[in-house]
Amino acid sequence: MPELPLAVRETRAEPAALTGGQVVWETLARLGATHVFGYPGGAILPTYDALPAAGITHVLVRHEQSAAHMADGFARATGRVGVAMATSGPGATNLVTGIAAAMMDGSPIVCITGQVSSPQLGFDAFQEVDITGITMPITKHNYLVTEAAAIAPAIIEAFHIAASGRPGPVLVDITKDAQLGRCAPGWEGRAVRRPRRRPAPAVDEGACRAAAELIGSARRPVILAGNGVLSSGASRPLRALAERADIPVATTLLGIGALPASHPLNLGLVGMHGEAWVNQAVQGADLLLALGTRFDERSIGNPRGYAPRARRVHVDVDPAEIGKVVDVDVGIAGDLAQVLPALLALVAPGDRTPWLDEIRAARREASARDILNLPGDGRLHAAHVMADLWRQTRGKALVVTDVGQHQVWAAQYYRHERPRAFITSGGLGAMGFGLPAAIGAKIGRPDDEVWVIAGDGGFQMTAAELSTVAQEALPLRIAVINNGWLGMVRQWQELFHGKRYAATRMHGPDFCRLAEAHGIPARRVESRGEVAPAIAEARRATGPALVEFRVEEEDLVYPMVPAGASLHEMLRRPRPGPRPVAARGEKRGA
């Protein structure tokens, strides 16, 4: 896509002079920003002083980490740059976890922080922290701005960098004197540009021909669809390629939604907690076509044992990713939105019925172990909640998860039909991500039904954002999966540490009363028969609603590939039914 100029809005008159704080908001408005997630403080106060006249909606968070997660959720849901704002010192450092999460998952966000006045830099002034130095390894780029005239160029460039190539976070740190200073921004005639989501290098036709030849000769190919398919908007050409060549598609955790779950060629989730038949298909493939994925170890297991008989084609917008983790036979650096149509034109129609039949047989075998198909034991499992939520919403809700067992169960049992409708912290695995990211997603897509699914541990990390939900009157649906443990850590302790459960038993508050204290209606569910009515009730609410699901305490996520093992060495749910469980622990909650 060619770079498009950002037209200066005719309704915004060119001011003679503005303070640096006014320049911040005016630049954001001209770049198309509509919302900023932030928390004020002394070093950013001159910018907040200009907020009332800015025409931009500010969402007041309860912790700056949540501001970064909200910007992240907004960006992933909309495909636009999300914006977070904080003051210096602890305000800036509180952003760090959210910035790192955005960096690892390729989310385009711009974080704007206040800084002490430039004469005080380096003298350990009150709330002075070198936030550009701290965030250098976890941002695509960052800026320290010390004069008003440099604010607009820095923010404009930050938007461009955040959204181009492989998207990611950029930080702009602005000293207090720069915010107080005045300048004539001079947007008229300046090359203010709309940031591109991707660069537009020429498609390597030779590499595309080589890839097409491998596809044509393969008998057992698999497409591995990653987050790059979604961020490049390449879901349609992916589907067209899969259908023409008759190739099944496996998705990474962040690639969920790249192909509708109901599509017959969609295999499902691959990797550490991927479905058994998906991992088996990858390990038995003779060609792996990896699209927009960085071969994270959670997706591929041990690289030395990964897809051992497969030729490999890797397409990624970042040339540094190609060949970094696994060797490839053909590497294509470029935007999937351009590469896939070029590849599609070279690929002949295929018929791989024997290969697909083999995968379907493995899928039928695996379904006999599925917890939804096992005899009922009177207990409520998290998988029941995910399956019932999927049925009621018909796979059309925008689901945001926190991190842990519930995250995997949501990926396995909620079948997504749309792109950008499953948002989770993949690379960093940041507990506390779910609720704030869902707030950002709901604000970005107000007409969508948005559910946040969080475990009792991660939910408590950012539960203060219930106040933000209430203050913004967001009709957000909140599902708390409460098993009274740090569930995924407890699972590792059971399987790999001799059942030594150290520091994983968790006492929590009464989540329903906590929600009601914020004016949010809530309901507790403890049996399977209550699940569907509770979900239906929450969906009917005109404002926010919370449902706490008291699920089986010692359930395990299956399959599971142990650390350092290959995909085919996964642990699977034992036959013929659920494993025996230990006696329940002390009572949970108040």
Tens digits of residue pLDDT in 530-551: 999 999 999 999 999 999 999 9
pLDDT at residue 506 in the model:
94
pLDDT digit string, tens, across residues 399-446: 999 999 999 999 999 999 999 999 999 999 999 999 999 999 999 999
Q: Is 516 a catalytic residue?
A: no
Q: Are residues 274 and 396 in the same domain?
A: no
CA 137 to CA 39: how far, in whole Å? Answer: 24
Average predicted confidence (pLDDT) for the chain:
92
Are residues 435 and 340 both part of a single domain?
A: no
Question: 357 and 390 share a domain?
Answer: no
> By C-alpha distance, which of 214, 217, 234, 216 is closest to 225?
234
Residue 103 lies in a domain: yes
Provide the domain count of the chain. 3
Of 496 and 587, more confident: 496
Q: Which residues of 457-485 are buried (b: 16+ CB within 10 A; e: fewer)?
A: bbbbbbbebbbbbbebebbbbbbbbbbbb
Query: Which residue among the candidates 70, 128, 159, 176 is catalytic per the annotation?
Result: 176
Q: Which of 331, 362, 393 is the last residue of a domain?
A: 362
Contact 162, 83 (CB under 8 A): no
Give the Å distances, CA to CA, from 181 to 13, 19, 155: 20, 5, 17
pLDDT on residue 375 = 81
Structural domain including 96 reads: 18-183
Q: What's the pLDDT at 198?
A: 46
Which of 461, 488, 506, 570 is catalytic? The answer is 488
Are 143 and 112 members of one domain?
Answer: yes
Residues 388 and 343 reside in one and the same domain: no
pLDDT in tens, 154-179: 999 999 999 999 999 999 999 999 99
Contact (Cβ atoms closer than 8 angstroms) between residue 273 and residue 376: no
Contacts of 579-584 with CB under 8 Å at 24 or more apart are 581/552, 581/553, 581/554, 581/555, 582/554, 584/553
456 pLDDT tier (thresholds 50, 70, 90): very high
List pLDDT tens digits, range 482-504.
999 999 999 999 999 999 999 99
Number of Cβ within 10 Å of residue 55's Cβ equals 13
Is 537 annotated as catalytic? no
> pLDDT value at position 585?
45
In this predicted structure, the answer to whether residue 3 has a pLDDT above a threshold of 50 is no
Residue 194 lies in a domain: no
Question: Which of 126, 213, 499, 516 does the annotation list as catalytic?
Answer: 126
Q: For the segment 336-356, what is each residue's pLDDT rounded down to a tens digit?
A: 999 999 999 999 999 999 999
Same domain, 398 and 547: yes
Show the tokens assigned to 275: 């479905």
- For residue 201, count other CB atoms closer than 10 A to its CB: 13
Q: How many CB atoms within 10 Å of residue 376?
A: 9
Q: Are residues 377 and 355 in the same domain?
A: no
Region label for 170, one of left (φ > 0), alpha (ψ between -120 and 50) or beta (otherwise): beta
Please compute the mean of the pLDDT values over residues 26-45 and round it to a whole number. 97
Whether residues 302 and 375 share a domain: the answer is no
Active site residue 396: no
Instruction: Identify the domain boundary among 362, 388, 419.
Output: 362
Last residue within a domain, chosen from 362, 387, 402: 362
Q: Is 449 a catalytic residue?
A: no
Place of tokens 């099944």: 248
pLDDT digits (tens, 9 = 90+) for 227-280: 999 999 999 999 999 999 999 999 999 999 999 999 999 999 999 999 999 999
Condensed to tens digits (0 to 9), the pLDDT of residues 188-240 reads 544 445 444 445 568 999 999 999 999 999 999 999 999 999 999 999 999 99
Give CA 232 to chain center in angstroms: 15
Cβ–Cβ < 8 Å for 461, 404? no
pLDDT in the model for residue 15: 59
Three-class SS state of 182 = strand
Strand order from edge to edge, sheet including 266-269:
266-269, 249-251, 221-225, 287-291, 311-316, 330-333
Average pLDDT over residues 92-117: 98
Catalytic residue among 22, 26, 64, 461: 64
CATH code at position 165:
3.40.50.970
Same domain, 529 and 409: yes
Instruction: Respond yes or no: is residue 488 known to be catalytic.
Output: yes
Q: What is the DSSP letter of 516?
A: H
Distance CA 182, CA 23 (A): 9
In 173-267, alpha helices (H): 176-180, 205-217, 227-231, 235-245
Angstrom CA distances, 564 to 280, 283, 309, 570, stand at 17, 15, 19, 11
260 and 330 in a single domain? The answer is: yes
Nearest to 408 by CA among 378, 438, 386: 386
Q: In this structure, are residues 266 and 251 in contact, taking their beta carbons and an 8 Å threshold?
A: yes
Handedness of CA 132, 137, 154, 30 (dihedral sign): negative
Q: How many CB atoms lie within 10 A of CB 158?
A: 29
Supply 442's token pair. 């709901």
